[in-house]
Amino acid sequence: MTKGFLIAATNSGVGKTTSSMGLMAALRKRGKVVQGFKTGPDYIDPAYHAVISGRPSYNLDTYMMGTDAVVDQFERASAGSDISIVEGVMGLFDGMDSTEISGAAHVAKTLDIPVFLVINTHGMSRSAAAMLKGYAEFDPDVHVAGVILNKIGSPRHLELIKGALDDKIPIVGALPRNPDIAVPERYMGLHLPEEKDLDYSQLAEFVEENMDIDLMLQIAADYEKERPAPEEIKLQEADVTIGIAREPSFCFHYPAMFDAFKNAGVTIKFFSPTAGELPEADGYYFASGYPEFHIKELSESPATKKLKDLAADGVPMFGEGAGLSYLSESYETEAGVFKMAGILPAESRITKKLQGLGYAEAKPLSSDFGTKNIRAHEFHYSVTEPEKDAKFAYEMLRGKGIADKKDGLHEYNVLAGYMQMHPGSFPIVDFVEKCRVNKRK
């Protein structure tokens, strides 16, 4: 059985990331093995979880994965841990469109784990009680088992709030204002862990002093449930090598994608195109990230210049987001227009305006790209303009795609688009098989 809980909030920006990270740090300092998870499609929060816990943090997304796969992932990744902490997304009951799908509450119900609700108490006292009552009673299948009061202004402020709350839902945390532990944001999300020097020991001490961690662990134990054992995975013997770009330019990776590659018989070679690296491999994968901050180095990289010849030889490549721009003809930023790999007949440019955000669903236009619809996520500030005779792999049923409600620009055995894929939906075995066929040539 797996003990765990979910840290949710009334809305974004009220402290659930700080609370989640602080709890992980404090429990790790206690010598506990902590497994982190993130609700929804986010990449950056799990990166922090992984640094703090020393274990990969996995996404739990009921839209892209389905509920059964969410339970399976939770149990599989939690093996060997003492406690699992799931960080929510947005507000507790915010899901896709006006539904609960992919929201924190949906994940909490799917896993049947307790929820600790973070409330930003700045500028309120008795209203905190009304807010907690509403969230606790909105959906009786969601177990709001404790409240974390954030941004407490003073001991007097805390006493006012305590006086308004009843005893049904305990206060498990009362966090005073502390701007020193906030993680700054930027246009595509939080800074990456390696870009910001955070004192995790300070964060651990802050949470240890202001949260009742023992009570939270006891509540998690009281809610512990027997869940179906994860399905046994039949591992295929490794016979294919795939190079995966892993650096700030291509940094948005789901750990589940790495697992899926390995399960399909892949030996992974991580490399940095910006540094000029390009390992010998049977295929290559370029995820999304921040290429605009390293664009000159990417453009001049020997790795970039070699890719087109490899593509012409039939070497499979897959890209998403930044990978799409990188595999195209050029990428325009404020610094100018820079030549990219030149494989796909398109030109990309970064903008200051968000161009695509939200869940996507796409229908393959040919069985070459799968036989089932793909559920994915889009989040990009760039625009990609394909040539008139460009070929596409998917018709967008939901989401924006590259152009004309189509995504998945392809040339040779190279495929790239704006959809950011999760192995819960993307047919990764098909890509691996193309790499396997290429190897046999």
CB atoms within 10 A of CB 235: 10
154 and 260 belong to one structural domain: no
Task: Give the least confident one: 12-26, 189-203, 275-289, 364-378.
Answer: 189-203
pLDDT more than 70, % of the chain: 95
Q: Which CATH number characterizes residue 9's domain?
A: 3.40.50.300
Nearest partner of 85 among 114, 51, 43, 120, judged by Cα: 114
Q: Where is 147: in which H helix or E strand?
A: strand 144-152
Q: Please, what is the average pLDDT of the chain?
A: 93
pLDDT in tens, 25-39: 999 999 999 999 999
161: pLDDT strictly greater than 60: yes
Residue 1's pLDDT band (cuts 50, 70, 90): low
* Domains contained in the chain, number: 2
Question: Is the model's pTM score more than 0.75?
Answer: yes
Burial of 406 (0-12, 13-18, 19+ CB in 10 A): buried
Q: Is residue 235 part of a domain?
A: no
Alpha-carbon gap, residue 308 to 314, rounded angstroms: 10
Residue 233's pLDDT band (cuts 50, 70, 90): confident
pLDDT at position 189 is 53
Q: Decide which of 371 and 57 is more confident.
A: 57
pLDDT at position 80 is 94
Q: What is the dihedral of CA 313, 315, 321, 325, to 10 degrees?
A: -20
Average pLDDT of the residues in 289-301: 94
pLDDT at position 92 is 97
Average pLDDT of the residues in 144-157: 96
Q: What is the dihedral of CA 150, 152, 155, 161, to 10 degrees?
A: -70
Q: What is the dihedral of CA 190, 292, 355, 347, to 10 degrees?
A: -160
Task: Give residues with Cβ within 8 angstroms of 6, minimum separation 6.
Answer: 39, 85, 86, 87, 88, 104, 107, 108, 111, 113, 114, 115, 116
**Which structural domain, as residue segments, surrounds residue 32?**
4-222
Kindly write down the DSSP assignment for every residue of 192-261, as one continuous string.
Answer: PGGGS---HHHHHHHHHHHB-HHHHHHHHHHT-B--PPPPPP-PPPP-EEEEEE-BTTB-B--HHHHHHH
200 and 251 belong to one structural domain: no
pLDDT in tens, 379-426: 999 999 999 999 999 999 999 999 999 999 999 999 999 999 999 999
Alpha-carbon gap, residue 293 to 233, rounded angstroms: 39
Q: Is residue 104 part of a domain?
A: yes
Residue 190's pLDDT band (cuts 50, 70, 90): very low
Q: Is residue 412 part of a domain?
A: yes
Task: Give residues with Cβ within 8 angstroms of 27, minimum separation 6.
Answer: 34, 82, 83, 85, 213
Directed axis angle between helix 16-29 and helix 200-210, to 10°? Answer: 100
73 and 185 belong to one structural domain: yes
Average pLDDT of the residues in 156-165: 95
pLDDT in tens, 239-255: 999 999 999 999 999 99
CB atoms within 10 A of CB 167: 6
303 and 424 belong to one structural domain: yes
